[in-house]
């Protein structure tokens, strides 16, 4: 885990499976037998200096063959030889440069189907663009006044370019239209396909008989603009949610069953029967729910409660599947089969939540439902109208109808929504917020209630040393001792001395960790203990012990860890899981925005009430297991409320899936990140009100764009029906409306600027020394 810990950790957990390493490897994909490719998201990377540092740090590792950073999506792709080193080393190298990082799940960003589609769309766009430009070249010549012979020649050449190009570029629309018609439905692509085909047909006919107007440029330009919208829309597509897969991947693959006649057998987890005795080693996940029958240890119950503070268990204590055994090996007697154990239930809850989510109809789809039939009706009306008015002139009637079809076609509409979402996503990304898809922004707009998890979401997620009465020398010794334990309080202490070079010169010997009590070691010949007060007091100078009071803030959330040398003065360190920076301001801003706020946490009453009081939130629930969180969300939904859930842990994942829209910090669990609609990096909570304001602005702009498109149509359609439209007018109208919509969407770039401008914030982050970022516990600044 860290430089000063590697010795002890390696010695102690020699055979224990390293969950972190397995997790990192499972998230990578193998390009061949010896090589793995891993991709990390590094949100703090935003200039070439950062890129250089990261690439150099990674390439410096002997088992890395290639490391390439992508500044656009802030990912780093590493190719490394898996037998020669660890995935942990990669993560540590990135953290060693001072960057937060999160491994991307294989499939989150690996080349896949969606990437293929994006490429296809880009190629169609390129062809349509090429054709549109060249045909326009010829068309402008015609409009500028060409004599009949030249005009026919140019029309024919335009046709020669436009028809093959349109045939190629039209395929996405054609397949979508045929699919819709095959289902008996009408979608936006049906009138578009119809318009393009009819326009090309009619224009060919006109070109061959030396007619005056040909609509080749209009047809191809229509495809071009619509494909821009498609490409952007696809870039904003919903990325696959593999949260359930991740959850099932967390379950222990197998269990070591102790046979009644002696000996052990390794069985798959789902074959363990109630009543059987299972051995759970240190560092392993408990495979099935059970009761401890032998041994004593500390269990990480964050799966259930979201709290990383370990819980001591002894004979008779119940443990749930999915919790991690931190201390010593224990024997448990299984009480349930794997499918009904805690983790199995959570998986079922998540699947149920994902299936029962009400289908959200995006605004673009709602508009299309009205628009598509309207377009057809208008075209048919024009055809019949002119047929009757001209006394049976098929050609004129068809001509006008096709002109109507082209003019009503929604360039602006195809662009209106994706452009806004792309700009919004870009601005959010600058601030470290990753949006899974455009509909998330639309859903956020509808929200009226926000439910927060406490630990890891409103707070930093792990205890930090807030006060102490120890002298610097004692701090250092305590920190060295702390480095030998995985207990979160110990890790906090180890972090506190991480930057101290003298601490690393100290070596501890005869290290032993006593479950439930603490860590003991000998430094420089003297025995020292770090941990529970009474246990530490055993070796401390007897006279002082009785009068010492723990230093601290005297509230429920503070716990204290004691330290003493043999016959020395006991000192205490107060630990607290502090609120995230900006939490109070963010909560106030959200409340001012008219949103109702709640806290729903797996932690016990005291800390939850304190945090709620500090933030001014009146509604809070404690001791909530994952099933309770879902039940609460359902109750809110039945009351007609629209809920945003913000949570980080495994125990929030079902709630994140069940809420209308959800958000998770990137420092949280993989499962939480996968299940949520938004993922935010960084520690400051002010991103949440910013995101909400962005959702409001985006919604406003989308409605404006749609209004602009409709206004354009209200002018253009009567003109088309009156037969006044020429290809020139069609071209101007289409490009004009598209440009208007794009220009309007750009306003989002300047909307909702915060107090500190984004650039200043970025510059400050880049130049900041490593100590200001989140580091892995105990990592040193130098190497």
Catalog residues that contact other proteins under the rule CB under 8 A. Answer: 31-32, 35, 37, 47-48, 51-52, 55-56, 59, 65-66, 68-73, 77-79, 81, 119, 122-123, 126-127, 130, 133-134, 137, 150, 153, 157, 161
> Looking at beta carbons only, is 55 or 614 nearer to other proteins?
55
Calculate helix-pair angle for 171-182, 148-169, nearest 10 degrees. Answer: 60
Residues 6+ apart with CB under 8 A from 553: 466, 467, 574, 576
Shortest Cβ 206–other proteins spacing (Å): 20
Question: What is the spatial distance between Cα 107 and Cα 722, in angstroms, rounded to a whole number?
Answer: 54
> Looking at beta carbons only, is 51 or 256 nearer to other proteins?
51
* Nearest one of 712, 713, 673, 678 to 692, comparing CA atoms: 678
3-state secondary structure of 253: coil
Question: What is the spatial distance between Cα 631 and Cα 397, in angstroms, rounded to a whole number?
Answer: 62
> Looking at beta carbons only, is 134 or 335 nearer to other proteins?
134
Give me the DSSP letters along 502-566.
HHHH---EEEEEETTTEEEEEETTEEEEEE-HHHHHTTS-HHHHTT----S--STT-EEEEEEET
> Looking at beta carbons only, is 60 or 771 nearer to other proteins?
60
Question: What is the spatial distance between Cα 304 and Cα 15, in angstroms, rounded to a whole number?
Answer: 27
Shortest Cβ 668–other proteins spacing (Å): 27
Q: State the first-to-last Cα distance of the chain, in angstroms, to the nearest integer.
A: 14
Cα 497 off chain centre by:
32
Shortest Cβ 437–other proteins spacing (Å): 20
Is residue 614 within 8 Å of residue 579, measured between CB atoms?
yes
For residue 61, the tally of other CB atoms under 10 A from its CB is 18
Calculate helix-pair angle for 189-208, 148-169, nearest 10 degrees. Answer: 150
Shortest Cβ 222–other proteins spacing (Å): 19
The DSSP bridge pattern shows strands 464-468 and 509-514 to be unpaired
* Nearest one of 251, 277, 271, 267 to 343, comparing CA atoms: 251
Shortest Cβ 64–other proteins spacing (Å): 8
Shortest Cβ 350–other proteins spacing (Å): 32
> Looking at beta carbons only, is 115 or 366 nearer to other proteins?
115
Shortest Cβ 58–other proteins spacing (Å): 11
Looking at the annotation, which residues are catalytic?
453
Q: Which residues sit opposite 600 in a β-bridge?
A: 621
Question: What is the spatial distance between Cα 641 and Cα 751, in angstroms, rounded to a whole number?
Answer: 28
Is residue 687 within 8 Å of residue 43, measured between CB atoms?
no
Shortest Cβ 68–other proteins spacing (Å): 6
* Nearest one of 588, 591, 589, 611 to 600, comparing CA atoms: 611
Shortest Cβ 156–other proteins spacing (Å): 11
3-state secondary structure of 749: helix
Tally: H helices and E strands in the chain: 29, 27
Positive or negative CA dihedral for 615, 618, 621, 622?
Answer: positive
> Looking at beta carbons only, is 137 or 197 nearer to other proteins?
137
Shortest Cβ 760–other proteins spacing (Å): 19
Question: What is the spatial distance between Cα 118 and Cα 128, in angstroms, rounded to a whole number?
Answer: 15
Task: Using the structure block, give the residue that is written with the tokens 């109070």.
Answer: 584
Question: What is the spatial distance between Cα 174 and Cα 191, in angstroms, rounded to a whole number?
Answer: 10
* Nearest one of 267, 349, 268 to 303, comparing CA atoms: 349
Question: What is the spatial distance between Cα 492 and Cα 523, in angstroms, rounded to a whole number?
Answer: 20
Task: Using the structure block, give the residue that is written with the tokens 């105990």.
Answer: 778
Question: What is the spatial distance between Cα 432 and Cα 89, in angstroms, rounded to a whole number?
Answer: 25
Check residue 99 and report its DSSP letter: -
Q: For residue 663, give both structure tokens.
A: 């958000």
The continuous run of DSSP H or E covering 78 comes out as strand 75-81
Q: Which residues sit opposite 70 in a β-bridge?
A: 75
Shortest Cβ 632–other proteins spacing (Å): 42
* Nearest one of 429, 411, 403 to 705, comparing CA atoms: 411
Burial code of 142-161, b = ≥16 C-beta within 10 A, e = fewer? beeeeeeeebbebbbbbbeb
Q: For residue 665, give both structure tokens.
A: 């910090």
> Looking at beta carbons only, is 234 or 376 nearer to other proteins?
234
Is residue 120 within 8 Å of residue 86, measured between CB atoms?
no
Shortest Cβ 697–other proteins spacing (Å): 24
Shortest Cβ 681–other proteins spacing (Å): 17
Question: What is the spatial distance between Cα 570 and Cα 533, in angstroms, rounded to a whole number?
Answer: 9
Using left for φ > 0, alpha for ψ between -120 and 50, and beta otherwise, residue 145 falls in left
Q: For residue 384, give both structure tokens.
A: 């019949």
> Looking at beta carbons only, is 150 or 175 nearer to other proteins?
150
Positive or negative CA dihedral for 43, 48, 52, 53?
Answer: negative
């Amino acid at each position: 885990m860290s430089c000063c810990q590697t010795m002890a950790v390696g010695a102690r957990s020699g055979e224990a499976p390293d969950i972190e390493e397995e997790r990192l490897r499972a998230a990578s994909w193998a390009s061949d037998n010896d090589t793995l490719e891993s991709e990390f998201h590094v949100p703090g990377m935003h200039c070439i200096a950062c890129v250089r540092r990261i690439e150099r740090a990674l390439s410096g590792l002997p088992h890395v063959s290639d490391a390439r950073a992508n500044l656009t999506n802030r990912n780093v792709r590493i190719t490394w030889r898996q037998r020669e080193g660890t995935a942990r080393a990669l993560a540590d190298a990135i953290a060693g440069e001072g960057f937060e990082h999160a491994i991307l799940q294989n499939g989150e960003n690996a080349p896949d189907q969606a990437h293929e589609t994006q490429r296809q769309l880009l190629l169609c766009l390129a062809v349509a663009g090429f054709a549109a430009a060249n045909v326009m070249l010829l068309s402008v010549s015609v409009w500028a006044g060409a004599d009949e012979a030249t005009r026919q020649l140019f029309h024919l050449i335009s046709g020669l370019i436009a028809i093959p190009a349109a045939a190629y570029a039209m395929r996405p629309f054609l397949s979508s239209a045929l699919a819709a018609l095959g289902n008996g439905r009408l979608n936006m692509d049906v009138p578009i396909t119809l318009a393009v085909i009819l326009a090309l047909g009619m224009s060919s006919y006109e070109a061959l008989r030396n007619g005056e107007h040909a609509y080749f440029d209009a047809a191809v330009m229509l495809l071009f603009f619509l494909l821009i919208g498609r490409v952007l829309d696809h870039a904003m597509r919903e990325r696959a949610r593999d949260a359930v897969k991740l959850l099932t991947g967390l379950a222990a693959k197998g269990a070591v069953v102790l046979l009644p006649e002696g000996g052990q057998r390794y069985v798959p987890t789902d074959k363990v029967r109630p009543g059987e005795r299972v051995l759970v080693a240190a560092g392993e996940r408990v495979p099935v729910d059970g009761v401890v029958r032998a041994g004593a240890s500390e269990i990480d119950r964050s799966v259930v409660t979201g709290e990383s503070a370990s819980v001591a268990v002894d004979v008779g204590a119940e443990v749930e599947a999915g919790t991690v055994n931190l201390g010593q090996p224990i024997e448990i007697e299984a009480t349930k089969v794997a499918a009904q154990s805690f983790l199995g239930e959570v998986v079922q809850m998540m699947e149920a939540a994902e299936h029962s989510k009400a289908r959200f109809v995006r605004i673009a789809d709602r508009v299309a439902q009205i628009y598509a039939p309207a377009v057809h009706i208008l075209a048919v009306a024009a055809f019949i109208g002119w047929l009757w008015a001209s006394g049976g002139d098929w050609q004129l009637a068809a001509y006008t109808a096709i002109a109507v079809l082209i003019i009503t076609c929604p360039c602006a509409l195809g662009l209106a929504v994706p452009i806004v979402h792309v700009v919004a996503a870009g601005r959010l990304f600058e601030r470290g917020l990753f949006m899974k898809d455009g509909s998330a922004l639309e859903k956020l707009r509808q929200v009226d209630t926000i439910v927060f998890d406490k630990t890891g979401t409103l707070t930093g997620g792990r205890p930090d040393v807030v006060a102490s009465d120890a002298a610097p020398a004692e701090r250092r010794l305590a920190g060295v001792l702390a480095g030998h334990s995985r207990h979160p309080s110990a890790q906090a202490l180890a972090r506190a001395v991480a930057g101290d070079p003298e601490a690393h010169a100290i070596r501890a010997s005869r290290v032993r960790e006593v479950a439930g009590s603490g860590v003991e070691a000998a430094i420089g010949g003297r025995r020292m203990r770090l941990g529970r007060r009474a246990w530490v007091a055993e070796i401390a100078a007897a006279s002082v012990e009785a009068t010492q009071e723990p230093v601290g803030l005297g509230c429920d959330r503070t716990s204290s860890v004691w330290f003493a040398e043999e016959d020395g003065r006991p000192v205490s360190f107060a630990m607290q899981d502090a609120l995230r920076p900006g939490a109070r301001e963010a909560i106030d801003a959200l409340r001012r925005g008219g949103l109702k706020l709640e806290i729903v946490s797996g932690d016990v009453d005291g800390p939850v009430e304190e945090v709620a009081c500090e933030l001014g939130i009146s509604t809070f629930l404690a001791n909530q297991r994952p099933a309770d969180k879902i039940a609460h969300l359902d109750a809110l939904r039945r009351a007609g409320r629209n809920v945003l859930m913000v949570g980080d842990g495994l125990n929030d994942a079902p709630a994140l899936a069940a809420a209308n829209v959800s958000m998770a910090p990137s420092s949280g669990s993989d499962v939480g990140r996968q299940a949520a609609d938004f993922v935010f990096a960084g520690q400051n909570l002010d991103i949440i009100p910013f995101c909400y304001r962005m959702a409001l602005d985006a919604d406003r702009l989308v409605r404006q764009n749609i209004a602009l498109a409709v206004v354009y149509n209200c002018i253009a359609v009567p003109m088309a029906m009156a037969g006044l439209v020429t290809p020139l007018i069609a071209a101007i109208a289409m490009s004009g409306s598209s440009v208007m919509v794009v220009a309007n969407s750009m306003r989002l770039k300047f909307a909702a600027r915060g107090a500190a401008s984004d650039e200043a914030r970025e510059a400050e982050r880049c130049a900041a020394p490593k100590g200001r970022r989140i580091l892995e516990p105990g990592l040193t600044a130098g190497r």
